[in-house]
Structure 1
Amino acid sequence: MTLPLPAGVLFDMDGTLVDTEPHWQAAQKALAENNGTEWTQADFEASIGRPMERWAQILSARGVPGSIEQIIDHAVSFVSEMMRADMPWLPGAYELLTRLAAAGVPCGLVTNNAGVNARLLAEAAPAGSLQVLVSADDVTSPKPHPEPYLTAITRLGIDPARSIAFEDSSSGAMSAHGAGLNVWFINSHTADPGVPTSRMIGSPAEVTADDVRAALNEAPAHHP
């Protein structure tokens, strides 16, 4: 008989583990204002969790020079500098990663952010806590498509029906749900994820490793 796959946890990055959303907003706003156009709060909120190409195309259409890739690279570099200077962990995030690693729970990172920033976070995270990184560099179709989470599920070797995805955007929640994961949704800036969730929370500080382990053990194991 084939042994069942283990349960695990996959984390979004921006707005879930780290508070980098203000950095992205500042980068986008600077690109706009430096080229005589604007980037409003509504523009920023519409970009949260979405593929980077989407907001870069809007800025390009408003007159920001350069290719879509160059516009993205400029913003990514800005955010990278901010992360290197001070990793903005959300309350409880580092501690949760620490305790899940100590408990031997398989964990990974799934983000629409660039690979360079995913690696920066992994380097700052507790040793061995994030065993898999899936960024925009690793997929053809970013969130809300399920490909990023499906890729992480395969690389981490977990059973999605028994596993959890932490997300803070409707785009990310759609991606995780489409991949068959149980969504724990951080509703700090988005009230309605648009898909069924297993739990709604305000921040990682509201979750303990015991909460996660109990949930992972609740679902029956599926045999591949």
Structure 2
Amino acid sequence: MNAILVNIGCGIAGGLVVLGVQETIAYFRKQREERQTLTVGNPKLKILDSDFLNKYEPGKISIDKIIQEFGQANRIETSTESIGEIAAYFYILENAKVIFTTLNKEPNIVSITVFSTRNQKYPIICKQSFKDDEEIFGKAKLTDSILRDNVSIENHESIHEQTTVIKSRFFYRQIKHLYFGYSIDGYFEKLSDAKGQLIQQVCVSEVESISPMLSFFDTFYN
């Protein structure tokens, strides 16, 4: 009798173990499928891929492709500058807010601006100098490499905020230069004083004069 009970108990325990393994596998499969469904390139876009700024490059992707992958923009703003007509496409996602710009109605994207909401579940890599190790928004700071390749420093002030945009030019893939605009909180007149400041937004652009940043209201509100 004892042997029978032991065999029954072992059978039940074994079944529970198998069931537990199956449930665990099913859980992680579901998590992976949900993540894939949410990521850029799927119809139900809700989050920006963590490696987005490494995969999308101004000049190599069209606005039609962006609309195909992201859907229609939350809003579109146009302006006429000395270099031509600029169209800015604003997108609000779960873990980021993004601006894509085009110039003179040309199909290719000229610049990409990213502001991370610092969603701990879906962090985004902040594009820094190619000489620096990769870091996510919320931890990425202005480095010596960024400041060394600087081409301009711009201070912006309103009743709501004070920000400084540090713009640097990096030689990219031995082919061309790209301009990187880094927005930080605070008012800085000297580059040396800005070193180590936390990067709030990044704009990667083909054109030095095109580096739009999200406003206080854009970053604070949905």
TM-score (norm 2): 0.22
Asked which structure has the greater CA Rg, the reply is: 2
Q: Which has the higher contact order (CA 8 A, sep 6+)?
A: 1
TM-score (norm 1): 0.22
* Structure with the largest fraction of strand: 2
